A and B are shown apart, each in its own frame.
With several copies, the nearest count.
Chain A
Amino acid sequence: MARVLADATVGTARAAAVVSVRLFAGAAEATGVRVHRMSIEDGATVDVAFDRMVEEFPALAALKSSLKFAVNQEFVEMDQRLSDGDEMAVIPPVSGG
């Protein structure tokens, strides 16, 4: 999926960004994945990137309302844009302490 998209991106001359997405706790368990490298249009939002993740890992859909997101270890809103090399994190409700 990501690969097809990357190729399409190149085809339309838009720059591609490779983003690594990290998943934790319930999100990691639901998907069976802890790190997922994804190719996406440069400047795509976290929202778009998460939708791509859901296409690949449908179990994430049920969790969406409880999740927060971080980019490069800072919490961000869903409209945050992503650049090549960014680390995006899917953050379930925290429960440390």
Chain B
Amino acid sequence: MARIVKIVEGQIDFHEALEAARSPRNGGLATFYGSTRDNSEGKSVHRLFYEAYKPMAVAKMEEIADQIREKWGVEDIAMVHRIGEVPIGEVSVFIAAGSPHRVEAFSACRFAIDTLKETVPIWKKEFFDDGEVWVGQTPSGRESGD
């Protein structure tokens, strides 16, 4: 029965985030775990690093939570992004949205991660065998797919 919006270094506290989005009035809770994959466009990824413009990133995440409250009346939401080195397979972003009905919980969760990926100033760097790249800003100018 609360809102949690934060950027952390080190592992995300899922329990705390889930508890924020839980409430006896909520029949539905939708979550999303984004984790670092072991490959990207066919290349093996060895490690990942996230950087944030922290105060602006938190402000944009709060803005997303505000939009979610206005659009779907969903107030119980957690949005946590991890920065720094994130080992392969570990979770870099976690969203949880609780609502009396499931449709709103799903819509809120989906909107949160979609909008976060579009508007929140956080950047991911992938390290390969033969180099490294800031995702979305490649020499060819292409942007990342998801």
Contacts and interface: CB of A to CB of B under 8 A. Distances in A.
Interface residues of B, number: 32
Interface string B36-63: 0000000000000011110111010000
A91 B93 contact: no
A73 B137 contact: no
A97 B55 CA distance: 17
Interface string A76-97: 0000000000000101111111
A63 B50 CA distance: 20
Interface of B is mostly: mixed
Nearest to B102: A97
Interface string A42-77: 000000000000000000000101100010010100
A70 B55 CA distance: 12
Interface residues of A, number: 19
Nearest to B61: A96
A28 to B, nearest CB: 8
B11 interface: no
Contacts of A93: 136-137, 143-144
Given A65-B141, A89-B53, A95 B135 contact: yes
Contacts of B135: 95
Nearest to B34: A97
B92 interface: yes
Contact of A89 (B93, B118, B121): B121
B105 to A, nearest CB: 12
B89 to A, nearest CB: 15
Contacts of A70: 53, 56, 121
Interface of A: 22, 24-26, 29, 63, 65-66, 70, 73, 75, 89, 91-97
11 contacts: A24-B53, A66-B137, A70-B53, A89-B56, A94-B119, A95-B117, A95-B124, A95-B134, A96-B57, A97-B117, A97-B122
